[in-house]
Amino acid sequence: MKRAITVITDNFSDWETALINSTCRGYYGFDIRFAAPNGDPVISSSGMFVTPQLSIEAIPLDDIDLLIICGGTAWQTKEAPDINGLVAEAYSKNIVVAGICDGTRVLAQAGVLDNCRHTSNSAENLSSVPGYRGGTHYQDVPYAVTDRRIVTAPGSAPVSFMAEILATLGIRDSNIQAYLAMHAAEHSKPV
């Protein structure tokens, strides 16, 4: 059984990781857990109250396949938890590391985006991150980007974020193609 942990903070953007977590749990039988600072309950941007199973400080890296950093406004504040060491260690242990929206800022600050292709909400979103040196690898695209077991996406791309994470974990089947087609159908309607 594959194991995944999603890091969430107060005001996390709940839609960004909903598809990957529900697909992994519901269709592929993953053990899905959530971690927050000190293991304290958090409230999402839509007002959803979440009690995580873990504290960020107690994430068992030796026992997971996937670490996801969910976006949210906390990552641009001084109250953001410092998880740079956690992210860098996860990457060094060959764990798939994924960040969406402002979660990509965490990956940038941890240094894991310095030498791989990646994306975010914008190049400017990452250029203000202390220590970020990956600007030449930035991809200005509206969908998720994968390189070296790192998956990044703008906050508007939870569907491709899900698909890229699953592909990186070696899951490529007709269910994913059907799921992508279902969600892509929304974008084919003329505006």
Mean predicted confidence (pLDDT) in 58-85: 96
Task: Return the percent helix, strand and coil in the chain, to nearest 5.
Answer: 40, 20, 40
pLDDT in tens, 152-179: 999 999 999 999 999 999 999 988 888 8
Instruction: Specify the pLDDT at position 188.
Output: 62
**Cα–chain center distance at 79:** 19
Q: Give alpha helix (H) positions in the chain.
A: 15-28, 84-92, 103-110, 123-127, 158-168, 174-184
Averaged pLDDT score across all residues of the chain: 95
pLDDT of amino acid 180? 81
Give me the domain span that covers residue 145: 3-188
Write the CATH number for 113: 3.40.50.880
Contact residues for 39 (Cβ-Cβ < 8 A; gap 6+): 52, 53, 54, 55, 56, 58
pLDDT at residue 21 tops 80: yes
Q: In which band, very low, low, confident or very high, does the pLDDT at 181 lie, cut at 50, 70 and 90?
A: confident
- Total number of domains constituting the chain: 1
Share of the chain above pLDDT 70, in %: 97
In this predicted structure, the answer to whether residue 114 has a pLDDT above a threshold of 80 is: yes
d(CA 40, CA 49): 11
User: Is the pLDDT higher at 39 or at 175?
Assistant: 39
Average pLDDT score over residue span 27-50: 97
Mean pLDDT value of segment 132-155: 97
